[in-house]
Amino acid sequence: MTFSAFYLSQKLAPTLALLAANVKRLHLLALLLLFLTPLALAQPASPAFPLHTSGAHIVDSAGTPVHIHAVNWYGAESSDFVVAGLQSLPLAAITAQIRGLGFNTVRIPLSNQLVESNPVPGNYALAANPSLQGQSALAILDQVIASLTSAGIMVILDNHGSDAQWCCSNTDDNTLWYNARYPESAWLADWQTLATRYGSNPLVIGADLRNEPRNTASWGGDPSNDWHAAAQRGGNAIQAIAPNWLIFVEGVNYALDLSGASALPIQLNTPSHLVYSAHDYGFDYSNLTSYTDYVNRITPKWAYLLTASSPTPVWLGEFGTCDNANICVTSGSSANSGYWFGFLSNFIQANNLDWSYWAINGTQSTGSGRTWGAQEGYGILNTTWSAPALPALTAAMATLSGTTSTNFALATSGAVSIAHPGLSGTATLTLTPKSNFSGTVNLSCTLTGIPSNAANLPACSLPTSATLSGSPATATITVTTSGSGTAANHQHPFPWRPASGAALACMLFALPRRSRRIFACALAGILTLTAASCSGGGSTQITPPPVPSTTAGTYSFTILANSSSTDYGQTQLTVTVP
């Protein structure tokens, strides 16, 4: 018996005995027994927290390098006061999308206005999450962070602006880390509030002190504009409460310029938690001619920090490209964003640079020049938040994040078509070793794309691992849906596993002797979907209660595989439900 089955048998046996002694309708017991089905997903290896820095790298407590492959999830910094997308999909589904696409960290932009006023966001922004409606912005943020970190996704909080608005310009009165409505004292206090609130969660790993200081912001000089000095004050204030957090310090001029750190570096009370942060977009360049030209332009601004005599980690906190054509990702013409994006991608790979793509969002949040719910032109996801907007872009992200394995290749046998809600379908996953690789490959399957307003979502299962020994191996992927199936071929929407049977057997013997017979009859009725008389008076057919059906449409599952903490692969499986 597995530990979970034993635990359930011990804890639930008294309750089930009471219910079985008084059960009048078998479907009530059936609903309770559904909770006994175990779910096991192979989780990617987690770092040993807390993190710190060593030379040019972020490392875990064991000294192992930790590479941040992040995505920005914006919206909470705007006057919506909540991350975007919750109008389209449940929170758990967006978390699954992020994890399934290979991102291990999320950068969440926030405003001082959110922290201090803590308003209740409008229901329009939470249409797909009714349980969050009526809650305050911080309470919702708590649940967003809990959802991400429970899935093994790290979180970096970003002070994106003082006022709740779309960023950024030189005239929005949010160019410095303070303004008349939110002075520096408020900026420091709000960071300490966040540090107090989330400092005990080991997967909330740090604070991006201020997004894109600009206009009059300087590195040194006039104290009223001196971002270097303010960043030290802010970093030390956070470290006093959350000493394990990494402190991310952006450059000036929209985070494009960290050249001042050469002569005037940031000095924190705990120096091994400093990470510099740069931003990089194609529109920041004109007349690029080659990869060498690109490197020559970024080196004096921020790339020099990676190879200086005392190197310091640099995190590319924002970069992004358009999502409407493949030339956004790769192009031989300087007229296209893909020209710059190719150079940046090469630099990231050559230097193993930590990064955060802007943005996961499929739709815009509220703000100046923005239309709530309109297409986000730089988004990873489409406007329904149910699938990638541009496959070429998600493929590029997989390459940058290392989710293209060097030890094996994986592929599915094709799309799965479910004949009727309530039935299941299968596909074959094939793993092919590279260079005669031998070893164990951990496997998991995550729902990452669903139709709009979908309910009673399908589930995916497969073995937790496969063993390669120089030749290909296969694994069966099973997708189950809910519903009544067909009269000729009914299948229960929740597959029974051996561990469930063991738990049931244990609970049967945990019941008082006089109750076992009743419970056994109930169990038999559930497993056969008929009710048999246990008193010897014959039998009657009982029609099972209707089972809510999986919403019709096309679903996407992401299959993740890893042979080590640094070697990952992924592939997609499309499932159609009529």
Residue by residue, DSSP assigns 386-399 as SSBS-HHHHHHHHH
212 is catalytic: yes
From the candidates 77, 116, 184, 318, which is the catalytic residue? 318
Helix (H, G, I), strand (E, B) or coil at 104: coil
Name the burial class of residue 222, with classes exposed (0-12), middle (13-18) and buried (19+) by CB atoms within 10 angstroms of its CB. Answer: exposed
C-alpha span between 327 and 315 (Å, rounded): 25
Q: Residue 168 is encoded by which pair of tokens?
A: 């950024």
For residues 303 and 348, the answer to whether their CB atoms sit within 8 Å is no
Handedness of CA 122, 213, 369, 109 (dihedral sign): negative
Residue by residue, DSSP assigns 151-194 as TT-EEEEEEEESSSS----TTSS-SSS--SSS-HHHHHHHHHHH
318 is catalytic: yes
C-alpha span between 29 and 420 (Å, rounded): 26
* R_g of the chain computed on alpha carbons: 27
C-alpha span between 217 and 515 (Å, rounded): 76
The DSSP code for 550 is P
Residue keyed to tokens 């051996």: 498
Q: Residue type for 465, please? A: S
C-alpha span between 399 and 396 (Å, rounded): 5
For residues 276 and 312, the answer to whether their CB atoms sit within 8 Å is yes
From the candidates 77, 212, 250, 376, which is the catalytic residue? 212
Helix (H, G, I), strand (E, B) or coil at 12: helix
Residue 42 C-alpha from the chain's centroid: 15
Q: Which residues are catalytic?
A: 212, 318
